[in-house]
Amino acid sequence: MVDGPMHVKKLNLVQLEELAAEIRHELITVLAKNGGHLGPNLGVVELTLALHYVFNTPKDKFIWDVSHQIYVHKLLTGRKERFPSIRSTGGLSGFAVRAESEHDCYGAAHAGTALSAALGMCAARDQRGSDENVVAIIGDAALTNGISFEAMNNVAQTTKKFIAILNDNEWSIAKNVGAISSYLNKLITHPSYNKLARDFERFVRRLPKGELALKLAHKAEEGFKGALAEVGLQPSPSSIEADGRGGYGNSVIFEEMGIRYLGPIDGHNLSLVISTLEFAKTCDHPIVVHVLTKKGKGFDAALKNPEKFHGLGPYDIATGATLPTKAGTPTSWQDVFGQAMVRLCQKDSTLVGITAAMPSGTSLKFLEKAMPNRYYDVGIAEEHAVLFACGMATMGFHPVCAIYSTFLQRAYDCIVHDAALQDLPVIFCMDRAGLSPQDGPTHHGLFDISYVRSVPNCIAMAPKDEDELVDMMFTATHEPHPTFIRYPRGPGEGVPIKDQPRLIEVGKAEVIQNFNNHGGRKVALFPLGSMMKLGRKTAEQLAREGYDVAIINPRFVKPLDAGATQFFGRAAEVVVTFEDHVIMGGYGSAVLELFNEKRVTTPVLMVGWPDQFIEHATNVDDLRNKYGLTVENVVARVKAEMAEITPGAQRSDFAVA
Ligand SMILES: Cc1ncc(C[n+]2csc(CCOP(=O)(O)OP(=O)(O)O)c2C)c(N)n1
């Protein structure tokens, strides 16, 4: 394995191919232990080698869309020693992070950002008159995302030098969907679309064979011929003629937008990809190179099941089987949601499910299978998903948008301007609300309470267990307002689901455990949603230490149960709010706002995440321990707070009926 990109350039073709095999071995071995995005990375081994062969990072810039396919780049840019630590506590991130390496010029993990960011870099380069090459590498599914088109709309008028690589493997996480995906398929399969510009042919012919041979060793000649044969298959004279409107007078969409299109080429043919990138580097007009790759190449199990191997946990190298879930592990929140969607849709013909390219992640796949006509996958297009839902809602439907908390951030304006302002009954099931530990800050869902709570008309809730999740979904279907339900990743609490869901009174909290008035000092715990477990354990420990503890399940962040919150707030000497969310603007803040308004002076300890981006880690516990979301820490804080308060000054003897 090489130490840095400079070494890649010294290799001949045979050595590059050997390196490709070594890289695949490393990916398969390390990810078998750590989990991660195996399929996408196996697919870009040759492409990444070719990029480093032709360009010079960090001076040249590679901007990876999503950047889940950046592992090979990490291995080639001085991080091979640390690679076995990827996605674990203190280890390498699974995505591009500027702070991690000078070779990562742009951080990402949400889709569709690469073209815009790359264009911005081109504009900056042109402004300052420097000569870096800027290369955006995007997947075919990134083209289902609106931002990519916003960027393409802007390329030709902004710069002359812009290189995009369209890494087309026909898959998003699931099979790519929609008209763009069919269009790309046409480009691949229909000979008349193969656009291989004559100047590329000329370029390849002009390359001094000797020099190329030197570079690529004895196979260079074949590679060179391969390039000509493959690329010269269907030369299209029209593709290089400007049409006077900024386009190239061709029905290839990129060319219509003033971006030269080259391809499709075999992304696993190293010499061909190298020649093509060498050409792209010389172009003095924006260019997109369409590269065909196979997700999972080099690992049979991944080739056979691209969806599973897009991103997965540890697996067995021999069979590709993922480790079995431990016996007795409760059904995941996601699966409970997916199964409940089927049951609810069977009873209520106004319900439909909408996903933005995450049928398996959200488990909306259950609905896809059971009732395909009530299921919509709109592609990686969260804004569109929400607006689409709003449109349906105006026609009497109750659309359910199943979107991860972190990805819903992208559709914030649609929530405010469309769903909330028009007060439409769209239901938002915000999956992954809380930590996604191995993915890290790009994927944690820690902001949704604050971004929803401040918007009028919205109802926001968080279930303490999976049965309550179903009750909340059912309740939401009866609401004429936008409703938001947040729940975390992973196994539920193991609570059985009732046969018939129950309506929950909106804005009503649930008293789980009342004070028992045994004379101990009173503490009221308000654990929101899945923090109930931490709340209960904290209560047990406090009780062991002689405190009189009440536990209230808030259920609603908005509208807050003002009565119950005040009542227990006044009765207790100390109130503790728990939330799997940033403290700022979250549930605890809502309680404080209420207390301020109602002049409740009981101190409120807020347990949640601090005002900083929380890094990735091997698991949730590592992060909770580090940031003090633990029983020990909460108990210590309660005791410290109690020590500050004169006993009896608060209404600690308040009798609760
Ligand atoms: C805004 C946003 N929505 C959803 C996702 C989840 N997601 C991660 S990768 C991916 C598919 C990416 O497909 P593509 O760009 O074609 O890359 P490939 O994995 O096929 O190489 C999706 C939907 C995301 N990262 N960002």
pLDDT digits (tens, 9 = 90+) for 260-291: 999 899 999 999 999 999 999 999 999 999 99
Report, as an integer, the average pLDDT of 422-442.
Answer: 98
**Other beta carbons within 10 Å of 195:** 26
65, 172, 297, 404, best to mutate for ligand 1 pocket (most atoms within 8 Å of CB): 172
- Euclidean distance between CA atoms 439 and 416, whole angstroms: 28
Amino acid at residue number 564: A
* pLDDT tens, residue by residue, 77-104: 999 999 999 999 999 999 999 999 999 9
pLDDT of residue 224: 39
Q: How far is the CA of 34 from the centre of ligand 1 (A)?
A: 20
Strand ranges, E, within 99-195: 134-139, 163-168
* pLDDT tens, residue by residue, 57-68: 999 999 999 999
42, 380, 406, best to mutate for ligand 1 pocket (most atoms within 8 Å of CB): 380
**Other beta carbons within 10 Å of 160:** 12
* Ligand 1 pocket by Cβ (under 6 Å): 40, 65-66, 68-69, 109-111, 139-142, 167, 169, 171-173, 295, 310, 356-357, 380, 382, 407, 410
Contact 589, 540 (CB under 8 A): no
pLDDT of residue 581: 98
CA-based max dimension of the chain: 93
Amino acid at residue number 481: H
Residue 249 banded pLDDT, cuts 50, 70, 90: very low
Has residue 23 got a pLDDT over 80?
Answer: yes
Name which residue sits closest to atom 19 of ligand 1, judged by CA: 40
Name which residue sits closest to atom 4 of ligand 1, judged by CA: 380
Q: How far is the CA of 112 from the centre of ligand 1 (A)?
A: 8
Residue 191 banded pLDDT, cuts 50, 70, 90: low
Q: Name the least confident of 193-202, 219-228, 238-247, 588-597.
A: 219-228
For the chain, percent of residues with pLDDT exceeding 90: 84
Has residue 113 got a pLDDT over 90?
Answer: yes
**What is the residue-wise DSSP string for 7-63?**
HHHT--HHHHHHHHHHHHHHHHHHHHHH-B-HHHHHHTHHHHHHHHHHS-TTTSEEE
| Structure tokens given for 180 | 């763009």
116, 137, 173, 444, best to mutate for ligand 1 pocket (most atoms within 8 Å of CB): 173
Q: How far is the CA of 148 from the centre of ligand 1 (A)?
A: 13
Name which residue sits closest to atom 23 of ligand 1, judged by CA: 357
* pLDDT tens, residue by residue, 502-560: 999 999 999 999 999 999 999 999 999 999 999 999 999 999 999 999 999 999 999 99
Choosing from 195, 295, 489, 558, the catalytic residue is 295
Q: How far is the CA of 380 from the centre of ligand 1 (A)?
A: 7
Report, as an integer, the average pLDDT of 411-436.
Answer: 98
- Euclidean distance between CA atoms 333 and 491, whole angstroms: 6
Partnered with residue 604 across adjacent β-strands are 575
pLDDT of residue 189: 76
- Euclidean distance between CA atoms 50 and 59, whole angstroms: 16
∠ CA 122-42-324, rounded to 5°: 130
**Other beta carbons within 10 Å of 228:** 17
* pLDDT tens, residue by residue, 24-77: 999 999 999 999 999 999 999 999 999 999 999 999 999 999 999 999 999 999
For the chain, percent of residues with pLDDT exceeding 70: 90
Does pTM top 0.85 for this prediction?
yes
Q: How far is the CA of 403 from the centre of ligand 1 (A)?
A: 13
Q: How far is the CA of 259 from the CAs of 94, 110, 134, 254, 363, in angstroms?
A: 31, 24, 15, 5, 38
Element (H, E) at 64: strand 61-64
**C-alpha 150, offset from chain centre:** 20
- Looking at the CA of residue 173, tell me the nearest atom of ligand 1: 11
Has residue 192 got a pLDDT over 70?
Answer: no
Has residue 221 got a pLDDT over 80?
Answer: no
pLDDT of residue 182: 87
Query: Which segment, 185-194, 229-238, 356-365, is predicted with the most confidence on average?
Result: 356-365
Element (H, E) at 513: strand 510-513
Choosing from 195, 410, 489, 570, the catalytic residue is 410
The full 3-state SS of 297-344, as one line of letters, equals CCCHHHHHCCCHHHCECCECCCCCCECCCCCCCCCEHHHHHHHHHHHH
pLDDT of residue 647: 63
* pLDDT tens, residue by residue, 619-632: 999 999 999 999 99
Query: Could you confirm whether 410 is annotated as catalytic?
Result: yes
Choosing from 46, 132, 278, 382, the catalytic residue is 382
* pLDDT tens, residue by residue, 117-128: 999 999 999 999
Name which residue sits closest to atom 14 of ligand 1, judged by CA: 139
Has residue 323 got a pLDDT over 60?
Answer: yes
Q: How far is the CA of 66 from the centre of ligand 1 (A)?
A: 6
Closest CA to 356 of 404, 295, 300: 404
46, 48, 66, 171, best to mutate for ligand 1 pocket (most atoms within 8 Å of CB): 66
pLDDT of residue 213: 34
**C-alpha 491, offset from chain centre:** 19
- Euclidean distance between CA atoms 49 and 79, whole angstroms: 15
Query: Could you confirm whether 382 is annotated as catalytic?
Result: yes
Closest CA to 384 of 362, 366, 399: 399
Has residue 566 got a pLDDT over 80?
Answer: yes
Q: How far is the CA of 366 from the centre of ligand 1 (A)?
A: 20
Name which residue sits closest to atom 12 of ligand 1, judged by CA: 172
∠ CA 620-626-628, rounded to 5°: 95
Name the residue with higher pLDDT: 655 or 31.
31
Contact 201, 228 (CB under 8 A): yes
* pLDDT tens, residue by residue, 458-505: 999 999 999 999 999 999 999 999 999 999 999 999 999 999 999 999
pLDDT of residue 248: 53
* pLDDT tens, residue by residue, 370-407: 999 999 999 999 999 999 999 999 999 999 999 999 99
- Euclidean distance between CA atoms 446 and 609, whole angstroms: 8
Has residue 242 got a pLDDT over 60?
Answer: no
Amino acid at residue number 552: I
- Looking at the CA of residue 176, tell me the nearest atom of ligand 1: 16
| Structure tokens given for 382 | 């969260």
Q: How far is the CA of 92 from the centre of ligand 1 (A)?
A: 20
Element (H, E) at 6: helix 5-9
- Looking at the CA of residue 37, tell me the nearest atom of ligand 1: 19
Q: How many alpha carbons fall within 13 Å on the CB side of residue 279? A: 30
pLDDT of residue 195: 55
Residue 198 banded pLDDT, cuts 50, 70, 90: low
Q: How far is the CA of 653 from the centre of ligand 1 (A)?
A: 56
Report, as an integer, the average pLDDT of 310-315.
Answer: 95
Has residue 645 got a pLDDT over 60?
Answer: yes
Report, as an integer, the average pLDDT of 246-257.
Answer: 72
pLDDT of residue 238: 43
Name which residue sits closest to atom 13 of ligand 1, judged by CA: 172
